[in-house]
Amino acid sequence: SGDLFKSTDGGQTWENFTKKLPFRESDHATIREIVVHPGDAQTVYLLADRAGVLVSQDGGERWQGLGKPSESDYPIFTAMAITFDPQLTLVVGIEREGAWRYTAD
């Protein structure tokens, strides 16, 4: 599953943010991708197996789910691509199932 760490000093020190994620180790929610918004370093997108796409708008302190495919109870993801302009669009690859797309309204 791995852990999530954050550095605010160019990598000299690191803080473990794993316990701030909205899932437990027993959920087996392996982190697959982390993307920081290019225009706002406080906005972070995270893709995790079974949990789906999560977003934090405060640098990882709090997370909310953006969604996951409704057809699969326990999706295993392979990759995430994000475009921010003209609107937020995420496309995630799902092992043996194809892809899932999220577009902000």
DSSP the chain: ----EE-SSTTSS-EE-GGGSSS-GGG---EEEEEE-TT-TT-EEEEETTTEEEEESSTTSS-EEEE--TT-SS--EEEEEEE-SSS-EEEEEETTTEEEEEE--
For residue 12, name the pLDDT band (cuts at 50, 70, 90): very high
HSE at residue 5, side-chain half, CA atoms within 13 A, is 10
Give mean pLDDT, residues 12-21. 91
Rounded to two decimals, what is the model's pTM?
A: 0.85
What pLDDT, on the 0 to 100 scale, is given for residue 44?
95
Task: Please write the tens of the pLDDT for every residue from 18-75.
Answer: 889 887 665 667 889 999 999 999 999 999 888 889 999 999 999 998 888 776 667 8
